[in-house]
Structure 1
Amino acid sequence: MEIGKLYGLGVGPGDPELVTLKAARIIKETDIIFAPQSRNGKPSVALNIVQNIIDEREEECEILQPLFPMTEDKDELAKSWDDAAEMLFEKLSNGLNAVFVTLGDPTVFSTFSYVSKRLQKKGVEVELVPGITSFTACSTTAGIQLTEQDDIMVVVPQVDERLPKLLPYVDTLVAMKTSRHLDVLEDCINKDPREKEIVSVQNCTMEDENVVHGFVDNKKYFSTSIIKFKK
């Protein structure tokens, strides 16, 4: 039995023009497009980014959009990853190749990693295709340098008790998905005595992009704050 190949493909932060040439080529050549959605009825953001590329294909392709719930319930998450892996393996077992499109880069806080591990255990060949990360896109949009010389940068998806211990050694902090932990983040940053520059970007490179100097208090999921501590 010939098993197809799985591509973990980063499609960047939101602007379709930031999809790499390699990613676009693979999307045009591959049999299955796998684009998870966060809840029923809401289209996949990653799929929307590459929809124009799919429309340019000479041949039809199958698009699968399984539900990946936005939850912290570990059992529910594990079940969704198991189900997605089984869905993909059924297609791959027929010799078809598949693309798993993911926002940003597939190696940075991507759900793809959980599905990939399950499929690799079944003998599936996986190839990663890098994409532009959201936080580098945020820094360019905001016109702020992330690092210089020997600066230490830390990227966090969630603020917990580890951050105050790390902060004295950090020159640049990137806090992703800040809508989930803004109060804790602000308290932690305010306790640091150093002067600092804070820029927050919402929906980076998308039509409703918003850049704010300081923190921004609302519930937009795609929110990133960059904090630069002055030496």
Structure 2
Amino acid sequence: MTKKGKLIGIGVGPGDTELLTLKAAKVLKSVPVVFSPKSAKEKESIALSIVRPILEERKDYKRLMLVEPIFPMIEDKEELERIWDSASEMIAQYLNSGRDVAFITLGDPSIFSTYSYVQRRLIDRYEIETIPGITSFTACAATRNKALVEQNNILTVVPKIDDRLEEVLEYSDAVVLMKASRNTAELESTIEAKNRPKEIYSVQNCTRENEKVIEGFSNEKPYLTTTIIKFDD
């Protein structure tokens, strides 16, 4: 009976290939299958662009199995469930053949990553290893050369605005707005109106060649934008 392969979730960090962990690079230099979802057929996965220099160093690069399924950015939950089910079964086929599969994902696999949906579906059937990566917001803080939190400060990560935001702002010392490209005027005005001393900055394409640090909120809001609010009181 063929031994089943292992699924390896790999966080590839925010953008700079040199920020890959040694462990992530080691796996990517030897794993037979790399699973690299992308949002549309005509687009290259950003995660793949980060690890491509590592993959191209492989002597067997031309024999590497690179799988690029489409994970569209949609809100239809039923359709998303179908896509995640299909992707999980696609990975299962490789695992059943005895091949290890690396699933690459931006930042860290445990923070707002599509990897988690596949991980959840396969964890009871296969061996799974998850390799952490540097998050966008820690990379942004490093770019700014300022700590996010100190001592007993509370850090809150917010994916989008909802009715809990007011309470979050009241008790947080620092707030990270992930996916800041989805920021609304309502969200920004709510934060600006908060009567607490604060510093706001946004980082576009953090650690990449076109990185840009902006004071306050970003008006352009490309996809890879993170906004950080630090309260000073």
Q: 1:120 aligns with which of 99, 123, 129?
A: 123
How far did residue 143 of structure 1 move? 2.1
State the percentage of identical aligned residues.
Answer: 50
- 1:172 counterpart residue number: 174
Preserved CA contact (<8 Å) 1:196 1:230: yes
How far did residue 14 of structure 1 move? 0.3
Q: What SS does the aligned partner of 1:224 have?
A: strand
- 2:213 counterpart residue number: 211
Q: Cα deviations across residues 70-126 of structure 1 (Å, max 9, x unaligned)?
A: 1111112111111110111111100000000001011111110001111123x1111
After the TM superposition, which of the residue ranges 130-139 and 180-189 deviates more from structure 2?
180-189
What is the TM-score of this pair, normalised by structure 1?
A: 0.97
State the alpha-carbon separation in 2 of the partners of residues 207 and 72 from structure 1.
31
Within a 5 Å distance, the mapping from 1:81-120 to structure 2 comes to 81-120=84-123
Preserved CA contact (<8 Å) 1:182 1:217: no
Amino acid at match of 2:79: E
Amino acid at match of 1:159: I
Q: Cα deviations across residues 169-192 of structure 1 (Å, max 9, x unaligned)?
A: 110001011121231321221221
Structure 2 spans left out of the alignment, 5+ residues: none
Q: Cα deviations across residues 42-71 of structure 1 (Å, max 9, x unaligned)?
A: 001101101111111122310000000011
What is the TM-score of this pair, normalised by structure 2?
A: 0.96
- 1:13 counterpart residue number: 14
State the alpha-carbon separation in 2 of the partners of residues 95 and 176 from structure 1.
37
State the alpha-carbon separation in 2 of the partners of residues 215 and 83 from structure 1.
38
Structure 1 spans left out of the alignment, 5+ residues: none
Amino acid at match of 1:36: P
Amino acid at match of 2:75: E
Amino acid at match of 2:172: V
1:67 partnered with 2:67: no
Root mean square deviation of aligned Cα: 1.0
Preserved CA contact (<8 Å) 2:14 2:139: yes
Amino acid at match of 2:96: S
After the TM superposition, which of the residue ranges 210-219 and 31-40 deviates more from structure 2?
210-219
